[in-house]
Structure 1
Amino acid sequence: MAAPAHFDVHQSGTVANIGPQSPMYDTLLRRHPKDGQTIIPDLAWKWEISPDGKKYTFYLRKGVKFHDGADFTAEDVKATYERIARPPKGVVIPRTPLFATVGEIVVVDPHRIEFRMTEPRPKAYMLGAFASGWNIIVRKKTLEEHQGNLRQVMNYPGTGPFKHVSRKDKEIWVMERNPAYWNKGLPYVDRLEVYHMFPFSPELGSSFLSGKVDYARLLDPVSWRKAKEMPGVTAAAFNQSVIQAFWTNMEKNKALANPKVRRAIHLAMDRHALVEVVKDTAPMQVGGFVYPFHEMSTPRAELEKKLGYQKDVTPAVQEARRLMKEAGYGNGIKGLDFVVRDIATFKLWAVAIQAMLKEHINIETNLRVVQTSVWFDEAQAGNFDLAISAIVSTLMDPSDIFSAWYGKDGPQNYSRWTNPGFHDLAHQIEREVDDNRRKAMVRKAEDMLEQDPPLIPVAYEQIYDAWYNRVRGQNPSTYFGIYDVVRWDTVWMAQT
């Protein structure tokens, strides 16, 4: 995992936080580590949902203690979720839209809490939100002491299976077994060492191949293929809850506020070539505005017949040039500030995208490479014309994407994009409980996004993991993404 730019898991959207920090915390509910899908109890030992779907009651475990010895109560859950649902000024939490319908959070007694909704949501959506690995429970006192902002607080107490021992910046985070953990018998291992290495980096690959680490997450394709051939090693590939994309600043740049210009930029991308550009750096796949592997999105075979996704880009480029001319930019656009995260994939893509924009629709850009933490600051502040990065969703559900990525004032809507028709449709999709009707509405939403892009999709990431067979109890092949099963409490080491 890369080293985190700050320590506030709730405010984060990167594995650099959730990877090393999650073993020290628990959540209300969790995904079962065996399949990464089934929702099971965690700090809440049971829950009830009212018949109208507007009240969720959680019964909390008794006798649970934070690492500093303090008792865990419903007040900590309330403080945690009040912050997630309604962040204080200056705090941005990507999961806030998941709880948009949470009205009141009521402490009934020290071990029972109610979430009262203003309107119902599909049960799987809400339970998935409560089970998200991002939504760790922290102490009310901790939040009060730091005015609701934990970015600079490295070791705030959790209730999780591991406790902080030491951390060396940009190198390693060391944790030890929590002897007072409420889930008796867990964790199985006494010590956990998480090394900070960039995803898909040669350093990570060589560390695994040489046997210096037991388990590697986010291997580059070359190292992963070598690991797959090694005796005594298991390799797994699975889909990730991330879109790779670039944003167009509609507030700063008049041309980019024009939907025709943005669709032209969208059509000017040769996505198959972009996947090829990084094939030895990171595993990627072509996709549009919704996960290409989601049952409600346009199937891949159908998608690749559409302009912008075909292997032969000639028809798409012709349409892009027509749109630019129609929008009044037939001669192109000059001097766009293109902010690029200092990560290998984004730097490779930025050069390729720069060339595609120039060749296909005469848009000229100046690349500006910045560190990851700086990128997010620039994106939030609107200091860019184009900006390339990756963003995550919490759930494999279109409603999560439509609110967090594309929602009006959504925390990851860096383009400052608004489309009242789309926002109305997205709100209907959130409330619809019939899957067939919902699917038809999602397809309609996809069509709207194609014509008025809130971002420009580049690719969708896959995850390559590998581990030596002495590591037992972890097989992510059925997981979706790397943000829910992250605690390592059910993993053990076989004696060799």
Structure 2
Amino acid sequence: MADRYKRLWLLLAGLIVLGLLVAAGASAAEPKTGGILIQAANKEPPSLDPLQEGTIFMLIYVSSQYNGLLQYDPLDNTKIVGDLAKSWKFSGDGRTITFKLHEGVKWHDGERFTAEDVLYTLSRTKNPPKGIRSPRKIQFASIEKMEAPDANTFVLTTKVPNPSILSALAQGWTVILPKHVMEARKDGMKRVVVGTGPYKFKKYIRGTSYEVVKNPDYFKKGRPYLDGMKWYVVPDMSAYVAAFKTHQINLLAGIPPIYKSHVEEIKAAVKDVQVHTGQMWVFGVLWMNTEKKPWDDIRVRKAAWLAMDRQAAIKILAEGDGTLGLMLAAEGNWGLPAAEIAKLPGYRQPKDKDLAEARKLMAEAGYAAGLNVVMDSRSGITDERRATFVKDQLAKIGIRAKIKLNELAKMYKIINAYTYNCVSYPNAVALDDPDDAFGRYWLPSAQWNRARLKDPKLVEMHTKQSQTVDVAQRKNLVRELEDYIIAKYPAVVLYWNMQYGLAWPEVKNWKIGSGIYNNLKYQDLWLDQ
């Protein structure tokens, strides 16, 4: 048995790059040092704590100040490489991973980084103290024990072999935080940024800008190349475009397809502009609170599922650059292909049959005359357009939705307290991985179980697929679990977004990451100026 697991993990290891990330450079030119990379963001973070938050509008600002044990290779998003870990090794049974850490690493306040920081961070992630949120703790539920036998060694043991554990450690959210700072602060890292990363926090002027400067003591020799980075807070996309066209901004990343016309405008105005595209791993969705009427009736939920015209959503909301998808990352390694999804009830065209069945279900549920609901949404053009589209679609079957708009901070309070009746909201996965997708949104213990599903069978099915090492067998189990969730109609997935990244010609050694949460450190990016 031990030999079997050893062979499996050796095979897995053959697909993963071990050791230190050495920037090979996408350009043949010799990297230059210096310069300030200027970006923009249209929202601000609820706090600065990467352990407790779940919004990209926090991670884009602080990622460059931290490191994880592992990371996705910035120039090849299919590979996992070392970050704070310079190497790692599996035991013969595939349950224990021993990480050897880089020596001489310092926190930005001058304190020494050790394996105790890794132990403290991951222990806090898995079992957060009272009053501390840990949205991703379910991804580490398989861990049986963790140890720091010496300052430069960290050992992690899972209850059973977990094929997803390296991905969970490499995702952009799993950064290592300073034990000495967290122990001294009851609210964690909400108001302070102390990392080991390539850049150090400089200044945050709320409503205006966020700045970082080069870390001169960074443990990766020769990195970073930039002197610093700055993000301007620009709520309006038209102002974004104007700033980019006039070269006030070097880089625009994570642009959803709703702004495709702006992308075309920039392409026409800026000679040799770099245009990057990729899967955003963000899906638009209508969450229905199954603990509240009318959504406690599965017939009403199914009616909403059937009524939604996904192809129209892609055309109207994504300028044609969206992908049909279900609960797993669209066009990834685990979910159904879009061509097969297009044949499913709720996705198939034309809509006549689905709408007729939806109206019949509404009548059977006692709502032949229709009903009124309040639908929460974030404010902002993207969210407001999505909410309006959903409202119009629901109206076809007599569900009259009143849209209630909320600023970002208020929206987080509403969705985290589950006080909404239904909510139109964008969500994202960090990885093309079943544990990430199911563990984020679809399990009873998920931090963002926004449909309020409580079925214990979900946990049983999820645990079984998570512990299955054979890829073919696991895919079958994942398919069964997704089908089981769909049959409960907990939410209406509209589509999955593509994303654009735009850069001026002087920006070198950068590409869009896998999804929106990875490749945000910019340690290898340089400016040819």
TM-score (norm 2): 0.88
Deviation at 1:440? 2.1
Q: Does 1:82 align with 2:118?
A: no
- Which of 118, 121, 125 lines up with 2:159 in the alignment? 118
- Which of 340, 348, 365 lines up with 2:401 in the alignment? 365
Question: Partner of 1:464: helix, strand, or coil?
Answer: strand
- Which of 79, 93, 110 lines up with 1:38 in the alignment? 79
Matched letter for residue 323 of structure 2: Q
Matched letter for residue 504 of structure 2: Y
What residue in structure 1 maps to residue 243 of structure 2?
A: 207
Moved more, 84-93 or 365-374: 84-93
What residue in structure 2 maps to residue 316 of structure 1?
A: 354
- Which of 247, 271, 282 lines up with 1:242 in the alignment? 282
Matched letter for residue 387 of structure 1: V
Deviation at 1:184? 1.1
The answer as to whether partners of 1:308 and 1:316 remain within 8 angstroms in 2 is yes
What is the alpha-carbon distance in structure 2 between the residues aligned to residue 120 and residue 442 of structure 1? Answer: 17
Q: Does 1:26 align with 2:26?
A: no
Cα deviations across residues 207-244 of structure 1 (Å, max 9, x unaligned)? Answer: 21221111111332112123334322110110012222
Alignment of 1:188-203 (within 5 A): 188-198=225-235, 201-203=237-239
What is the alpha-carbon distance in structure 2 between the residues aligned to residue 458 and residue 71 of structure 1? Answer: 47
What is the alpha-carbon distance in structure 2 between the residues aligned to residue 47 and residue 366 of structure 1? Answer: 53
Percent identity, aligned pairs only, is 27
What residue in structure 1 maps to residue 294 of structure 2?
A: 255
Q: Does 1:493 align with 2:500?
A: no
What is the alpha-carbon distance in structure 2 between the residues aligned to residue 93 and residue 221 of structure 1? Answer: 35
Question: Partner of 1:257: helix, strand, or coil?
Answer: coil
What residue in structure 2 maps to residue 290 of structure 1?
A: 328
The answer as to whether partners of 2:279 and 2:515 remain within 8 angstroms in 1 is yes
What residue in structure 2 maps to residue 176 of structure 1?
A: 213
Matched letter for residue 527 of structure 2: M
Question: Partner of 2:459: helix, strand, or coil?
Answer: helix
What residue in structure 1 maps to residue 507 of structure 2?
A: 471
Cα deviations across residues 302-337 of structure 1 (Å, max 9, x unaligned)? Answer: 111111112321111112122223334333322x22
What is the alpha-carbon distance in structure 2 between the residues aligned to residue 213 and residue 269 of structure 1? Answer: 38
Moved more, 28-37 or 89-98: 89-98
Moved more, 262-271 or 282-291: 282-291
The answer as to whether partners of 1:88 and 1:148 remain within 8 angstroms in 2 is no
What is the alpha-carbon distance in structure 2 between the residues aligned to residue 304 and residue 66 of structure 1? Answer: 50
Deviation at 1:407? 0.9
What residue in structure 1 maps to residue 149 of structure 2?
A: 108
The answer as to whether partners of 1:188 and 1:491 remain within 8 angstroms in 2 is yes
What residue in structure 2 maps to residue 139 of structure 1?
A: 178
Uncovered stretches (5+) of structure 2, i.e. residues with no partner: 1-40
Cα deviations across residues 406-439 of structure 1 (Å, max 9, x unaligned)? Answer: 0112011112112333332222111112222222
Cα deviations across residues 87-116 of structure 1 (Å, max 9, x unaligned)? Answer: 222333222111011122211111111112
What is the alpha-carbon distance in structure 2 between the residues aligned to residue 279 and residue 396 of structure 1? Answer: 21
The answer as to whether partners of 2:65 and 2:193 remain within 8 angstroms in 1 is no
The answer as to whether partners of 2:333 and 2:432 remain within 8 angstroms in 1 is no
What residue in structure 2 maps to residue 453 of structure 1?
A: 489
What residue in structure 2 maps to residue 444 of structure 1?
A: 480
- Which of 435, 453, 468 lines up with 2:471 in the alignment? 435
Moved more, 242-251 or 70-79: 242-251
Q: Does 1:276 align with 2:322?
A: no
Q: 1:487 to 1:121 in 2, by over 3 A?
A: same
Uncovered stretches (5+) of structure 1, i.e. residues with no partner: none
What residue in structure 2 maps to residue 265 of structure 1?
A: 304
CA RMSD of aligned residues (A): 1.8
Q: Does 1:416 align with 2:456?
A: no
Question: Partner of 1:445: helix, strand, or coil?
Answer: helix
Number of residues paired by the alignment? Answer: 484
The answer as to whether partners of 1:260 and 1:452 remain within 8 angstroms in 2 is no
Cα deviations across residues 275-324 of structure 1 (Å, max 9, x unaligned)? Answer: 222245x9533322222312322211111111111232111111212222
- Which of 184, 188, 196 lines up with 1:149 in the alignment? 188
What residue in structure 1 maps to residue 8 of structure 2?
A: none
Q: 1:423 to 1:260 in 2, by over 3 A?
A: farther
What is the alpha-carbon distance in structure 2 between the residues aligned to residue 437 and residue 322 of structure 1? Answer: 38
What is the alpha-carbon distance in structure 1 between the residues aligned to residue 383 and residue 350 of structure 2? Answer: 23
Deviation at 1:383? 1.4
What residue in structure 1 maps to residue 390 of structure 2?
A: 353
Cα deviations across residues 21-54 of structure 1 (Å, max 9, x unaligned)? Answer: 1111111111111112211111111111112222
Question: Partner of 1:76: helix, strand, or coil?
Answer: helix
Matched letter for residue 517 of structure 2: Y
What is the alpha-carbon distance in structure 1 between the residues aligned to residue 44 and residue 366 of structure 2? Answer: 45
What residue in structure 1 maps to residue 441 of structure 2?
A: 405
The answer as to whether partners of 1:13 and 1:391 remain within 8 angstroms in 2 is no
Cα deviations across residues 111-149 of structure 1 (Å, max 9, x unaligned)? Answer: 111112222211xx2111111111111111111112253
Q: 1:38 to 1:231 in 2, by over 3 A?
A: same
Question: Partner of 1:218: helix, strand, or coil?
Answer: strand
The answer as to whether partners of 1:259 and 1:451 remain within 8 angstroms in 2 is no
The answer as to whether partners of 2:323 and 2:338 remain within 8 angstroms in 1 is no
What is the alpha-carbon distance in structure 2 between the residues aligned to residue 39 and residue 218 of structure 1? Answer: 21
- Which of 374, 396, 401 lines up with 1:337 in the alignment? 374
Cα deviations across residues 28-87 of structure 1 (Å, max 9, x unaligned)? Answer: 111111112211111111111112222121111111110100000111111111111112
The answer as to whether partners of 1:133 and 1:484 remain within 8 angstroms in 2 is yes
The answer as to whether partners of 1:277 and 1:349 remain within 8 angstroms in 2 is no
What is the alpha-carbon distance in structure 2 between the residues aligned to residue 459 and residue 179 of structure 1? Answer: 44
Deviation at 1:261? 1.6
Moved more, 103-112 or 189-198: 189-198
The answer as to whether partners of 2:209 and 2:230 remain within 8 angstroms in 1 is yes
Q: Does 1:97 align with 2:131?
A: no
Cα deviations across residues 430-481 of structure 1 (Å, max 9, x unaligned)? Answer: 11122222222222223222221222212212211110111101022xx321
What is the alpha-carbon distance in structure 2 between the residues aligned to residue 357 and residue 39 of structure 1? Answer: 43
What is the alpha-carbon distance in structure 2 between the residues aligned to residue 77 and residue 274 of structure 1? Answer: 43
Q: Does 1:462 align with 2:495?
A: no
- Which of 319, 341, 356 lines up with 1:303 in the alignment? 341
The answer as to whether partners of 2:145 and 2:156 remain within 8 angstroms in 1 is yes
Q: 1:120 to 1:148 in 2, by over 3 A?
A: farther
Following TM superposition, where does structure 1 have runs of at least 4 consecutive aligned residues deviating by more than 6 angstroms? none
The answer as to whether partners of 2:288 and 2:491 remain within 8 angstroms in 1 is yes
